[in-house]
Structure 1
């Protein structure tokens, strides 16, 4: 998928989907050309798990949690454990950035399918902390979450290889 500009007009479901897809594809653009070793370097002293690869894996986990668990009400394996609440940030043995990006793209495809045709006002099949959640809330949260982590990708990328985002 190429990053398409978000249309200036349209109904709410189409605009929410377009903005989320814009930010999802931005993740791939921010990671383009990064060296494998740089993808797993954590340059921020107070954030030792914040790597380019870790950010991609975290976004994959968040997509799964919000769309599979909350929107669709499905039971899926957890991306973290009580023993390791930061598990999704850690590099998976034998996997690199290409695998992390492929998993992210595949998870976004699952998320799109699960949200397709749902009205923003619809309540999700699952709950969050015991509360009902609207599809609109999930879409807005995922736009915010993905955009925020794109900013983190910018900062980490500049620190590890000097590439500056736009």
Structure 2
């Protein structure tokens, strides 16, 4: 596990980007510390039945898979993302209800460590193998920035869900 800090050890662009991505990842993990197994599976927002702590961590894991392995590296979809449809656009959130939060967190940590190493071998200007919906090929810099945004946004969701299921705030 990396140390949770938003202050990079060096001021080059790559180090700053990776530091902020790691900080957002560690914040997501910290928001889950000490939550009960039952509370991790609760969906306290009536109009968002998939919005659970388990679902959010699973979503973060699979979003990284999608942007790094599928879009940037050009690999095929894997895991629950292969089941996505118009009727079930977020199967990674639905299926997470059956997976213990410690396992989801461990998988997310292992993947984060693997991606940190993998991305270190690519230039920030390297372009994605697959095009986004408008036909453009984003670069690795954009992918990392997008993951920072995505993870940080869902940290807000984790804040709300955690407060509603057991009253814990902060982190």
Structure (1 or 2) with the greater helix fraction: 2
Aligned-partner SS, 1:90: helix
Unaligned runs of 5+ in 2: none
Written as runs of structure 1 = structure 2, the 5 A alignment for 1:53-68 is 53-68=54-69
Describe the superposition over 1:115-142 as per-residue Cα deviations: whole angstroms up to 9, x where unpaired: 1132222212332233211111101100
Q: Normalising by structure 2, report the TM-score.
A: 0.89
Q: More displaced, 113-122 or 151-160? A: 113-122
Aligned-partner SS, 1:4: coil
**Correspondent of 1:156 among 148, 161, 171:** 161
Query: Partner residue of 1:11?
Result: 12
Structure 1 residue 71, shift from structure 2 partner: 1.7
Asked if 1:165 corresponds to 2:170, the answer is yes
Q: 1:93 to 1:41 in 2, by over 3 A?
A: closer
How many residues were matched structurally? 166
Aligned-partner SS, 2:71: helix
Query: Partner residue of 1:32?
Result: 33
Q: 1:15 to 1:93 in 2, by over 3 A?
A: closer
Structure 1 residue 74, shift from structure 2 partner: 1.4
Structure 1 residue 20, shift from structure 2 partner: 0.2
Q: More displaced, 33-42 or 80-89? A: 80-89
Q: More displaced, 14-23 or 72-81? A: 72-81
Written as runs of structure 1 = structure 2, the 5 A alignment for 1:83-94 is 84-92=88-96
**Correspondent of 2:147 among 123, 126, 142:** 142
Query: Partner residue of 1:77?
Result: 78
Unaligned runs of 5+ in 1: none
Q: What is the CA RMSD across the aligned residues, in angstroms?
A: 1.8
Asked if 1:101 corresponds to 2:111, the answer is no
